[in-house]
């Protein structure tokens, strides 16, 4: 009986270790995707940004204005919104099945409507969903840190 108990314990520990490694890999994947998304926004790479933003994406910007994917990425494509800097700090991930919450503090600066904003710090919270095997951001909110 004792051997069976040890065997079950070892099997459980191995399964737990595998699940932990898989969760860490998925968190690393999401961090990389979020960094790619930020790079695409700063560089004005709208093609990549469209791929990473769900068609029903919605941003709530620091002024509290809601923007659809087309409104947001359209402003970037037209130059109405031009990110100069968007540097994330430590990106934290919480995964819930086919959804994940991404949260981090960042320094950002942009030209919006022809006016250059000062370099400021923001909290960013993004919700990703896995759709057709790929992660896409569906909601995003930025809050100015004062």
pLDDT for the residue numbered 19: 47
Domain holding 83, by residue range, is 2-144
Distance separating alpha carbons of residues 58 and 126, to the nearest angstrom: 10
Domains held by the chain: number: 1
- pTM of the full structure: 0.83
Question: Does residue 3 have a pLDDT over 60?
Answer: no
Mean pLDDT of all residues in 15-33? 72
75-122 pLDDT per residue, tens = 999 999 999 999 999 999 999 999 999 999 999 999 999 999 999 999
**CATH number of residue 99's parent domain:** 3.10.450.50
Average pLDDT on 62-81 reads 97
Long-range contacts of 72-81 (CB under 8 A, 24+ apart): 73/46, 73/49, 76/41, 76/44, 76/46, 76/49, 77/44, 77/46, 79/44, 80/112, 80/113, 81/110, 81/111, 81/112
């Amino acid at each position: 009986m004792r051997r069976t108990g040890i065997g079950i314990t070892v099997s459980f520990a191995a399964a737990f270790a595998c699940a932990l490694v898989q969760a860490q890999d998925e968190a690393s994947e999401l961090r990389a995707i979020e960094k790619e998304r930020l790079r695409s926004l700063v560089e004005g790479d709208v093609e990549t940004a469209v791929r990473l933003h769900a068609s029903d994406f919605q941003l709530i910007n620091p002024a509290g204005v809601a923007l659809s994917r087309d409104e947001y990425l359209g402003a970037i494509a037209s130059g109405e919104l031009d990110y100069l800097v968007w540097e994330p700090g430590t990106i934290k991930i919480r995964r819930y099945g086919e959804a994940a919450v991404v949260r981090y503090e960042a320094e950002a600066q942009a030209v919006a409507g022809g006016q250059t904003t000062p370099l400021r710090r923001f909290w960013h919270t993004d919700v990703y969903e896995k759709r057709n095997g790929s992660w896409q951001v569906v909601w995003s909110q930025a809050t100015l840190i004062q």
